[in-house]
Amino acid sequence: MSDFIQLHILTSYPPGNINRDDTGRPKTARMGGFDRLRISSQSLKRSWRTSSLFQEALAGHVGHRTRLIGNIAFDEFKALKVDDKPALEWSASIAGAFGKVAAAKPKDPKELRLEQLVHISPDEEADLKALVRVLAKEQRKPSEDECAALKGNGAAADIAMFGRMLAASPKHNVEAACQVAHALSVHSIVLEEDYFTAVDDLNDGSEDIGSAHIGETGFAAALFYANVCINRTQLVDNLGGDEGLANKAIRALTEATVKVSPSGKQNSFGTRAYANYVLAEKGGQQPRSLSVAFLTPVDDEDMLFAATAALAEQTARFDLSYGACADSRYKLNTLTGEGNLDGLLDFVTT
pLDDT at 168: 72
Residues of the chain with pLDDT under 70: 1, 154
| Phi, psi values for residue 261, rounded to 5° | -105, 150
Measured torsion, CA atoms of residues 19, 300, 225, 253, in degrees rounded to the nearest 10: 100
Which of 263, 257, 272 shows the shortest CA–CA distance to 12? 272
pLDDT at 280: 98
Which sequence spans correspond to the domains of the chain? 4-59+176-189+220-349, 65-155
Measured torsion, CA atoms of residues 141, 145, 151, 153, in degrees rounded to the nearest 10: -110
DSSP 130-146: HHHHHHHHHT-PPPHHH
Global pTM reads: 0.92
pLDDT at 219: 93
pLDDT at 284: 97
pLDDT at 308: 98
pLDDT at 1: 62
Q: At what angle do helices 84-95 and 122-138 cross, to 10 degrees?
A: 140
Rounded distance between C-alpha atoms, residue 79 and residue 20, angstroms: 40
DSSP reduced 3-state for 203: coil
Strand partners, 12: 223
Rounded distance between C-alpha atoms, residue 178 and residue 175, angstroms: 9
Which of 237, 227, 238, 196 shows the shortest CA–CA distance to 214? 196
DSSP 24-77: SSBPEEEETTEEEEEE-HHHHHHHHHTSHHHHHHTTTS--EEES-HHHHHHHHH
